[in-house]
Amino acid sequence: MIHLSPWDLGLASLLVLLLAGMSWRLRLGVEGRVLIAAARSTLQLMLVGLVLKILFNQTSLPLIGLMALVMLSAAGFEVMQRQKRRYLGHWGYSIGVFSMFLSSFSVTLLALTVIIGVDPWYQPQYLIPLLGMLLGNTMSGVAIALDNLTRHAWESRGPIEARLLAGGTWEQAIEGVRRESLRSGLIPIVNAMGTAGLVSLPGMMTGQILAGGPPLEAAKYQLMIMFLIAAGTGLGSMAAVWIGSRRLFDERHRLRLDRLRVSEGSKPRPA
Per-residue pLDDT tens digits for 14-67 = 999 999 999 999 988 899 999 999 999 999 888 888 888 888 887 788 888 888
Q: What is the pLDDT of residue 264?
A: 55
Residues 142 and 236 placed together within one structural domain of the fold: yes
Residue 83 has pLDDT above 90, yes or no: no
Choice between 203 and 166, residue whose per-residue pLDDT is larger:
166
Number of folded domains that form the chain: 2
Choice between 268 and 102, residue whose per-residue pLDDT is larger:
102
Residues 153 and 98 placed together within one structural domain of the fold: yes
| Backbone dihedral angles phi then psi of residue 267, each to the nearest 5 degrees | -75, 140
Exposed, middle or buried by CB within 10 Å (0-12, 13-18, 19+), for 15? exposed
Q: Terminal CA-to-CA distance of the chain, rounded, Å?
A: 55
* Domain boundary residue, one of 58, 80, 101: 58
* Domain boundary residue, one of 14, 29, 58: 58
Asked, for residue 77, whether it belongs to a domain, the answer is yes
> Taking CA 97 as the corner, what is the angle to CA 73 and CA 57, rounded to the nearest 5 degrees?
45
Asked, for residue 211, whether it belongs to a domain, the answer is yes
Report how far residue 21's alpha carbon sits from residue 32's, in angstroms, rounded to the nearest whole number: 10
Residues 69 and 189 placed together within one structural domain of the fold: yes
Asked, for residue 106, whether it belongs to a domain, the answer is yes
* Domain boundary residue, one of 40, 58, 76: 58
**pLDDT tens-digit profile of 228-245?**
999 999 999 999 999 999
Asked, for residue 268, whether it belongs to a domain, the answer is no
| 8 A C-beta contact, residue 233 and residue 189 | yes
Residues 254 and 144 placed together within one structural domain of the fold: yes
Beta partners for residue 4, in sequence order? none
Asked, for residue 240, whether it belongs to a domain, the answer is yes
Residues 81 and 46 placed together within one structural domain of the fold: no
Report how far residue 70's alpha carbon sits from residue 261's, in angstroms, rounded to the nearest whole number: 27
Q: What is the mean pLDDT of residues 86-107?
A: 89
Sorted by sequence, the CB contacts under 8 Å of residue 11 that are 6+ apart come out as none
Exposed, middle or buried by CB within 10 Å (0-12, 13-18, 19+), for 258? exposed
Q: What is the pLDDT of residue 269?
A: 40
Residues 41 and 71 placed together within one structural domain of the fold: no
Residues 129 and 45 placed together within one structural domain of the fold: no
Residues 69 and 45 placed together within one structural domain of the fold: no
Asked, for residue 269, whether it belongs to a domain, the answer is no
Report how far residue 80's alpha carbon sits from residue 166's, in angstroms, rounded to the nearest whole number: 34
Residues 47 and 68 placed together within one structural domain of the fold: no
Residues 47 and 81 placed together within one structural domain of the fold: no
Q: What is the mean pLDDT of residues 113-126?
A: 86
Mean of per-residue pLDDT scores for the chain: 86
Burial 129-166 (b: 16+ CB within 10 A, else e): ebbbbbbbbbbbbbbbbbbbbbbbbbebeeebeebbee
| Domain of 247, in residue numbers | 61-262
* DSSP 8-state symbol, 267: S
Asked, for residue 113, whether it belongs to a domain, the answer is yes
Residues 66 and 197 placed together within one structural domain of the fold: yes
Residues 205 and 163 placed together within one structural domain of the fold: yes
Asked, for residue 18, whether it belongs to a domain, the answer is yes
Report how far residue 123's alpha carbon sits from residue 166's, in angstroms, rounded to the nearest whole number: 55
